[in-house]
Amino acid sequence: MVDKQPPQVIKTQSKFSTTVRYLLGDKVAPGKPVLIKAQIITEAQARNLRQLGTVPSENVGELINNTAILEHTSSKSTCATFRNMSIKKIKRADRKGSESVTEEKFALFFTTEISITGCDTPYKIQMISVPVVVIVHGSQDNNALATIIWDCAFAEPDRIPFVVPERVPWKQMCVTLNSKFMSDVGTERCFDSYNQHFLAQKIFDKPDIAGDYSNMLVSWAQFNKEMLPGRPFTFWQWFDGVIELTKRHLKSYWSDGLIFGFIGKQHLHLILKDRPNGTFLLRFSDSEIGGITIAYVAPSENGGQKIQNIQPATKRDLEIRSLGNRIRDIDFITHVYPDLPKNDVFRRYYTDNPLPRDTSGYLVVSIQTKVGVEPLCDSPQCSETPQDHNSSLYSMDQGNRASASPFYSLSPHQQTAFQPVPGPLQGMFTDLSSPNGLFPASNLSQGPPTEMEIQEILDTFSD
């Protein structure tokens, strides 16, 4: 059996390891060491091996360090570990229609002959790994991961290699998205019914329908082939951007219940329409990859109210100034939904970085967020609606720095909690098993692309 599977997204020239185990280790006849060999095979070769017993003869890729000796370990298991294995080159099959190179699946095929004590004839043993996607550059990682996620989540037991359904029920997709998000971010907080409903509306492109999506079918094309309407990216590319942003910069905010997250503008207006001016919530941008925006209640010109959305902050923005400090900078947002003073809730996320002592004769500056200021360039700024505000960072002298608010301590029951609306999807995640290990991570190093890599990347985009 394959005891330690290879990474399911493998970049050529990148080293990885895998381990196979022989379960009858104490029965191996003494004498000549048992050598195990690995080769890479295509999906078609894996299918023929399963259905016809045909051992692959054509070599579709060059594996480095593809042999290992079966050894008895200190834990009394019998294993062969392939260390520093890498794929030097790969031969692609002819693709069907619009199929991309990142949709093509391979596997590692292990073979050996083992002599058993008391038997005269050696046994030929073979085993294949889980499916893998081979890429040539880190830019292909996102789409390759989508292929693996679909395979891990929706493959049937004892399938023909590596057949997956073209469509799956939304309720299964929703569980998969939730598991992936929780696993990668490292949080125990799952999606509420608002989040689930918005994700369904987005993937089905039905922003005005408030019905039950649970039994609707999601296609692979809707997941990661077709661009979202009016956007230059797919649903998965957008969702993966949210995961990356949250994992790197927003994990604590999300786990503490301070980010509302996935919510459509209809629901946004519904829950904020009767709130006082200055009430705000944090939601993930649906117009760009990896952005979080502040939606807040503001007075309108006619004396009423309107909902404004501040320009989304991206990973790069949050590397410059944290979300907590940005919220502190903006004076006109005062209470986080439903009605908690922002300084009570976000106080622990405020940081006061002492200004360095001036040793060069220059005036020392600091950075602060300003909203609704005209940009200092001719290029248009991104906004989600015509009423959205630009958010800019300005250098301020020490005397103009925002004053710190008194420290507030929140008990656990005072933390912001969003009340989910009743709906058919509520309670979906009570039976979720641990997502850890469901989607194996790929440790990819990204370097300058070679000529072959550039051509394959161009092929990916043309597909």
Q: Please tell me the predicted confidence (pLDDT) of residue 440.
A: 40
348: which DSSP letter?
G
Compute, in degrees rounded to 10, the torsion defined by CA atoms 299, 421, 254, 142: -100
Give 438's pLDDT tier (boundaries 50, 70, 90): very low
The reported pTM is 0.79
pLDDT tops 90 at residue 254: yes
So where are the chain's domains? Answer: 2-136, 167-431
Cβ-contact 78, 21 below 8 angstroms: yes
β-pair type (335-336, 279-284): parallel
Please tell me the distance from the alpha carbon of residue 194 to that of residue 341, in angstroms, as a whole number: 23
**The two three-digit tokens of residue 404, written as one number:** 């710190």
Q: What is the pLDDT of residues 305-346, one digit of tens each?
A: 999 999 999 999 999 999 999 999 999 999 999 999 999 999
Whether 2-136 and 167-431 share one fold: the answer is no
- Average pLDDT (255-270) is 93
| pLDDT, mean over the chain | 83
Asked whether the predicted pLDDT for residue 406 surpasses 70, the reply is no
Tell me how far apart the alpha carbons of residues 312 and 286 are, in angstroms, rounded to a whole number: 10
Q: What is the pLDDT of residues 69-126, one digit of tens each?
A: 999 887 788 999 999 999 999 999 887 777 899 999 999 999 999 998 888 889 999 9
Average pLDDT on 432-457 reads 46
Please give the pLDDT value at position 170: 98
Classify domain 2-136 by CATH architecture: Sandwich (2.60)
Which residue is associated with the tokens 């404004």?
308
Three-class secondary structure of residue 81 per DSSP:
strand
Lowest mean pLDDT among 75-84, 127-136, 242-251: 75-84
In the prediction, which pLDDT does 285 show? 96
Beta bridge partners of 219: 167
Q: What is the pLDDT of residues 26-38, one digit of tens each?
A: 788 888 899 999 9
Which pLDDT belongs to residue 94?
80
Confidence band, pLDDT 50/70/90 cuts, at residue 390:
low
CATH topology of domain 167-431: Recoverin; domain 1 (1.10.238)
| Residue 101: per-residue pLDDT | 94
| 124, two tokens | 């030929």
Integer angstrom CA distances of residue 374 from 172, 328, 336, 386: 45, 21, 26, 14
Residues listed for the chain: 463
